[in-house]
Structure 1
Amino acid sequence: MEKIIIGIDPDIEKSGYCVLKVNTKEVETTAKSFHEIVERFRALSYDQNCRDVEITVVVEASWIKGKNNWHLCIRDTKNVIAAKGYSVGQNHQTGILICEMARSYGLKVVEHLPLFKCWKGKDRKITDEEIKCFMPIKGRTNQESRDAALLAWVFSGLPIRVKPVKC
């Protein structure tokens, strides 16, 4: 049976989207709008019903945490703080709706807490160079697609080398 994990890092404009074929370790990453993700769910639902494939959608569920990290600065005005809070709320709602849409198509959904940030990039996020040391990704990646790929990879249980070596 083919096992596919879809990793999603929800965002208002474009969410990070990764397809990981666990058996072959094939990885495809991109950024998709909410509408594009829902269209993919429709196609994946059809694949799941017609082929011998197990599909799991893993969504970074930052709304599960009681505490949010808004990256507030001491110089932020009330308007800036309100705008950041509004943006965080929109991201949370996008993630909740993505989970709801995946379930409506009969896909298995896992709401996963955000991964611990322990990398060399800005705000300790993973860089393109770091992720390519243990994951076969072709081409350039943006932060959202790397986060989605890392989420899918960690959920699959595949190994990660935390300290990058010469690739």
Structure 2
Amino acid sequence: MHILIGIDPDVDKSGVALKINDHIEVFNLSFFDLFVFLSEKSERVKTTKENILVVVEAGWLNKSNWHKNKNGSAAINAEIGKRTGSNHETGKKIVEMIEFLKLPYRTIKPRKSKVNSKFFKSITGINRSNQEQRDAYMLIHGIK
């Protein structure tokens, strides 16, 4: 059995995609719910010797993280920067969590294009998803 987990980090709830062989699930988890989820997968892998890989979107790997609204005020742009930095720190803490649990992982720079729900449904069969869940799945899509 092969287990793939994609994570799109977010301060409130991270997008998570789970693929076990051909079975796919997507959901959102808070930081500590994610820890419980990954802990359970870590224990499962230890007892069953299944293959697992966790892939985390790592926005902090981009050369430039300058996000600015051209028409926005200084306060709006400061808030954008604050949210971006918070999400990056959450992602780094998730990687630290994965290392603590001794799970194999990869970090991947974010993709520039987003996948819409119609295309996502066509490749997964999943009717309902949000952008974080779709981003999480796209991190593991195509990995064998």
TM-score higher than 0.5 here?
Answer: yes
Q: CA deviation at 1:77?
A: 1.5
For residue 15 of structure 1, report the CA deviation from its aligned partner.
Answer: 0.6
* C-alpha distance in structure 2 between counterparts of 1:146 and 1:60, whole Å: 12
Please say which structure displays the higher CA radius of gyration: 1
Q: 1:128 — aligned with what?
A: 117
Q: Does 1:19 align with 2:2?
A: no
Match of 1:92 among 79, 88, 111: 88
Tell me how far 1:84 sits from its aligned partner. Answer: 0.8
Percent of pairs with identical residues: 31
**What is the SS of the residue equivalent to 2:72?**
coil
Letter in 2 for 1:6: I
Q: CA offsets per residue over residues 85-104 of structure 1, 9 Å max, x none?
A: 11100000000000110110
Matching residue within 24, 42, 46 for 1:45: 42
Q: Which runs of 5+ in 2 are unaligned?
A: none
Point out the structure with the larger helix share. 2
CA contact (8 A) 1:20 1:153 kept: no
C-alpha contact 1:10 1:95 (8 A) present in aligned 2: yes
**Structure 1 vs Structure 2 CA RMSD:** 1.3
Q: Tell me how many residue pairs correspond in the alignment.
A: 144
What residue is the counterpart of 1:59 in the other structure? 56
CA distance, structure 1, for counterparts of residue 131 and residue 45 of structure 2: 29
Q: Which residue of the partner structure matches residue 8 of structure 2?
A: 9
Offset of 1:128 from its aligned partner? 1.2
Query: Do structure 1's residue 114 and structure 2's residue 86 form an aligned pair?
Result: no
Q: Distance in 2 between matches of 1:108 and 1:29?
A: 20
Any conservation in 1 of the 2:66–2:81 contact (CA below 8 Å)?
no
Runs of 4+ in 1 over 4 A off after TM superposition: none
Give 1:75 shift. 2.3
